[in-house]
Homo-oligomer: A and B are copies of this chain.
Amino acid sequence: MIQIAILGFGVVGSGTAEVLTENKKLITERCGEEVSIKYILDLRDFPDHPLGNRVVHDINVILSDPEVVLVAEMMGGSHPAYEFTKAALEAGKHVVTSNKEVVANFGAELLSLAGRVGVSYLFEASVGGGIPIIRPMQTDLASNQILSVSGILNGTTNFILTKMKREGAAFSDALKEAQKNGYAEANPTADVEGLDAARKIVILAALAYGVSISPDSISTEGITRITSDHTATADKLGGAVKLIGHTERIRGKIYAAVSPYFVPASNPISHVDDVFNGILVDTDMLGRALFYGAGAGKLPTASAVVADIIDILSHRTAERRLPKWKRAEPADLADTADYACRRCYLFDGCPKCAEKAKKALGTEDCTFITDTKFAVISPVMTARDAALAIEQSGLTPIFVLPVLD
């Protein structure tokens, strides 16, 4: 019998207990021993839950119990989750987590601490819910240089964008629908402003490049300014508007950002709809791999937490190579003006204006979306050159979206 503790008995915490119970037989087989939840830490009591008698309110009960070999942290938020994680690692306990805020903000320090103590700190559930992405990037793609990672990392915004695309709904109506369905919270800021996706892309950037960037320091734009102009343009051009977290290296420095993109139909990410997530990893040897699935939700996320638990408990004697993340310094970060891609512009105007825009952007790729609005797609150019070209043309685009090719 292996004793573990759960910190936080909310959606993912109770889901983790459910997965451990429902699939006890196969989990026991894979760990070589039965896994038992000895403690559940929460502010609340759960008198009616079958595991209600495991609830404690003091972290020290868990920290001081040598029987507890692993702690699963699913509290959400940075504090006190970070402090509890640190204390658990210091107490020699393995930690697994679904908490992207803690991993994004304190991952470098916690991984280094875990390495020094000789325990594991795993976080498969922190990005993409239940989708395998963290472990595959560290193992299956280990023979590759990561060229870039581009992902639909937030299910709420993808649900909203899918609704806007399919039904021509306005952003505010699609958001209300998402809230009604339980896909968006009453305060949807973290989702719709891209903050949640920002936390996830900095985790993926750290895995790809070994440099941990603060999510607050990257360029982050959400979907609140997406209108029917965007969706009509994407529809006409064949493709979709998606909120994308993207990271790549630019001349040895790291670029990471979150923003809406126009994704042409030829990119498999354009077909990732509803609340699903999809993460495209581009590498030097394998080329592109896409990981797709349920990016959130109780049991999917819990399934990833339990996969981490099994990974640790089935390899307890193994020396584990934890990734080493260096905290980013300003010199590690690329200038966002150097980010180069194709860009999709929508303009108001007549065929004569269209000629002017095409000339300014050096392209023949121009499509009239309505009688008086036309879209122009620029060749690959840096943000700096693109802004300059538009400024010199004297034209004012209705919008500009980077293109995810």
What residues make up the interface of A, taking CB atoms closer than 8 Å to B? 19, 22-23, 26-27, 30, 32, 124, 130-132, 135-136, 139-145, 268, 271-272, 283-294, 297, 299-300, 302-304, 306-307, 309-311, 314-315, 317-319, 321
Contact = CB atoms under 8 A, between A and B. Distances in A.
Question: This chain: how many copies in the complex?
Answer: 2
B293 A290 contact: yes
A136 B142 contact: no
Given A290-B290, A315-B318, A285 B139 contact: no
Contact of A141 (B141, B271, B283, B307): B307
Contact of A140 (B299, B307, B317): B307
Contacts of A317: 318-319
16 contacts: A19-B285, A26-B142, A26-B145, A27-B143, A131-B286, A136-B136, A141-B303, A142-B307, A268-B272, A286-B294, A287-B299, A287-B300, A289-B294, A291-B292, A315-B319, A317-B318
Contacts of A26: 142-143, 145
Given A132-B291, A286-B293, A290-B290, 5 more contacts: A132-B140, A142-B306, A285-B303, A286-B304, A288-B293
A315 B290 CA distance: 27
Centre residue among A139, A141, A317 by max chain B CB count within 10 A:
A139
B318 A303 contact: no
Nearest to A319: B317
A317 B317 CA distance: 9
Centre residue among A124, A268, A306 by max chain B CB count within 10 A:
A268
A124 B23 CA distance: 26
A291 B136 CA distance: 11
Contact of A303 (B32, B144, B271, B303): B144
